[in-house]
Amino acid sequence: MYRGGISRGGPESRLPDPHLVDWTAMILRWFHLVTGAAWIGASFYFVWLNNHVRPVDSGDPTRGLAGEVFAIHGGAFYRVSKFGGAPEQLPNVLHWFKWEAYLTWVTGMLLLGVTYWMDARSMMVDPAVRDLSPSTAVGVGAGSLVLGYVVYDVLCRAMSRQPLALAALGAALFTGASYALFALLGARAATMHLGAMIGTIMAANVLFVIIPGQRAMVDAMVAGREPPLERGKAGALRSFHNNYFTLPALFVMVSNHYPVIWSHRYAWLLVVGICVLGGLIRHGFNLAGVGRPRPFVPSIAGAAGLVVLAVVTRAPTPEAATATVNVTAVQQVIAARCLSCHSQTPTQAGFVAPPKGLALDDRATIEANRAKIGAQVSNGAMPLGNLTAMTDDERQLVVNWAAGG
Residues that bind ligand HEC (CB under 6 A): 122, 257, 334, 337-338, 340-342, 348, 355-356, 358, 372-373, 376-377, 382-384, 387-388, 390
What is the Cα 73 distance to its own chain's centre? Answer: 30
Write down the least CB distance from residue 307 to ligand HEC, Å.
23
Q: Are 191 and 252 in contact (CB under 8 A)?
A: yes
Cα dihedral 251, 253, 256, 258, rounded to 10, equals: -30
Q: Which is nearer to ligand HEC, 245 or 351 (CB)?
A: 351
Write down the least CB distance from residue 8 to ligand HEC, Å.
20
Write down the least CB distance from residue 233 to ligand HEC, Å.
43
Q: Which is nearer to ligand HEC, 210 or 334 (CB)?
A: 334
Which one, of 234, 132, 123, lies nearest residue 180 by Cα? 132
Q: Which is nearer to ligand HEC, 195 or 213 (CB)?
A: 195
Single-letter residue type at 286: N
Residue nearest to ligand HEC (CB): 338
d(CA 198, CA 244): 11
Write down the least CB distance from residue 252 to ligand HEC, Å.
14
Write down the least CB distance from residue 403 to ligand HEC, Å.
14
Q: Which is nearer to ligand HEC, 81 or 365 (CB)?
A: 365
Q: Are 15 and 349 in contact (CB under 8 A)?
A: yes
Burial class for 323, CB neighbours closer than 10 Å (0-12, 13-18, 19+): exposed
Cα dihedral 240, 246, 247, 252, rounded to 10, equals: 130
Q: Which is nearer to ligand HEC, 209 or 373 (CB)?
A: 373
Q: Which is nearer to ligand HEC, 276 or 336 (CB)?
A: 336
Write down the least CB distance from residue 339 to ligand HEC, Å.
8
Q: What are residue 67's DSSP bridge partners? A: 82
Q: Are 122 and 43 in contact (CB under 8 A)?
A: no
